[in-house]
Amino acid sequence: MNELLSLSLAEISQKLQNREISAVELTEAVLTHISVAEPQVQAFITPTPELALEMARQAQARLDSGERSPLLGVPIALKDNLCTAGVRTTCASRILHNFVPPYDATVVKRLREAGAVFVGKLNMDEFAMGSSTEFSAFHPTRNPWDLERVPGGSSGGSAAAVAAHMAYATLGSDTGGSIRQPAAFCGVVGLKPTYGRVSRYGLVAYASSLDQIGPITKTVEDCAIMLNAIAGKDPHDATSVNLHTPDFRDALIEDIKGIRLGVPREFFAQGVQPEVAETVRKAIGLLESVGAEVQEVSLPMAEQSLAIYYILAPAECSSNLARYDGVRYGLRVGAEKGHIGMMEATRAAGFGKEVTQRIIIGTYALSSGYYDAFYLKAQKGRTLLRQQFDEVFRQVDALVCPTTPTPAFKLGELVDDPLAMKLADVLTIPVNLAGLPGLSVPCGFVNDLPVGLQIIGKPFDELTVLRVGYAWEQLACLQDELRMPRGLAKVLA
């Protein structure tokens, strides 16, 4: 059965449609594997085996009736900040420890309609604030490549579950790199779509102008399949864009002759480990060898992205998290202290250290006398960055660079060094600030740990991003030293 677990979403979907295995048998096999792997990896907050088996029976009935869909009967899992009707949704926070939403997020609803099977809700940094999944109120998640290392964050559970073959695909959310960074650390594929491509309705908000939902998968083709299912205009989300949604699998061609790839100088300078830079440059060289036109470009404002982000994101966090007050839902502490006392006690007991810190920073940045000095200046910097991206994209079709400055770091290594922790996202944050699509694909190893190649596209040009990623993936399959193992990640083999 391990051979089935290591297959891609597209491959297992074909077996389901060919009746080589039933949806129920497949789900039982995945649940059995989860029972073995989960104590080591701890990717889940709330496994849902009963729900999964019921959904598998429904999917099999649809398959038996002749219905065909790439996700029909395929076990997947969801980051725990996506509202799921009837299933606990905690955001990895004590303040929502027992919250059960009465409705599905739009992406969850669309995956249900496609016939996917939900095996559980996945661990994350609390309210998606973190880069290592160590800031969960429940437990840290471990990297399947090395159980002493982090899986990245905040979608660490989502990336680890795919890497450990506990789901064929997962959904994460990406505010400053929270899909792409853990995908790079865990040796899997992660896509942050253009802001507005996918509805955010039902995603518990961190920073509303930056958040975007996207897939984490084993292959680029699987990413395209997932994006096909979740993309599109949603009347419940005013920021979702009413554009034609193409079939993203149409992008999956190996030929990239003539595609112009820009290599941003600044993305190789910001503390990038030399071995990581060398690995990524080799990948870019391979893309050039098959016909891509490569040129160096510059985005000077990218060097200010971290400072811009850590004013804007906490400011939006301060506003969004004001709703957790112990009145309507979630944790309530100190009711005997009166309304104000209850709110203070509830928030003090419910929010972890990292979330509290960001709320305080954001409130300060928005406060009277500091708004112009911090928040307004950061917004102007964001505009300048976006303008620089626009200028660069007049010269090239996509950008290629490292996803992260280093491979996965050890658990506990950076917990007490908040600046070093935040620098793990320094190469992904600019993409969110500009609202662009970004893809991370595995491109090699440093010290036996995966390294990610980041591909950044023009707004709503996921097709080009996926095309370059797919071409790279096919090249990597021909290189022994780059080929990702088809079996379980090393520690679980």
Find out whether 415 and 421 touch, Cβ atoms under 8 Å. yes
Cis? peptide before 368, omega within 30° of 0: no
Cα 227 from Cα 230, distance rounded (Å)? 5
Cα gap 423→15, rounded to integer Å: 42
The backbone torsions φ and ψ at residue 211, rounded to the nearest 5 degrees and listed phi first, read -60, 140
136/124 Cα distance (integer angstroms): 6
Catalytic residue list contains 209: no
Contact 298, 266 (CB under 8 A): yes
Residue position matching structure tokens 């990297």: 143
Q: Does residue 27 contact residue 47 with C-beta atoms inside 8 Å?
A: no
Tell me if residue 121 is catalytic: no
Indicate the helix (H) or strand (E) that contains 421: helix 418-422
From 13, 178, 240, 305, active-site residue: 178
Contacts for 46 with CB less than 8 Å, ≥ 6 apart: 80, 87, 88, 90, 120, 121
Helix spans in 115-154 (H) = none
- Determine the Cα–Cα distance for residues 144 and 5; give it in Å rounded to an integer: 15
Count of C-beta atoms within a 10 Å radius of residue 265: 14
* 199: amino acid identity, one letter: S
Task: Identify the active-site residue in 8, 13, 22, 79.
Answer: 79
For residue 79, indicate whether it is catalytic.
Answer: yes
What is the three-class DSSP state of 173?
A: strand
Active-site residue, selected from the candidate residues 131, 154, 199, 240: 154
Cα 377 from Cα 355, distance rounded (Å): 23
Question: 243: how many CB neighbours lie within 10 A of its CB?
Answer: 14
38, two tokens: 């989960």
- d(CA 399, CA 389) in angstroms, rounded, equals 10
Task: List active site positions.
Answer: 79, 154, 178
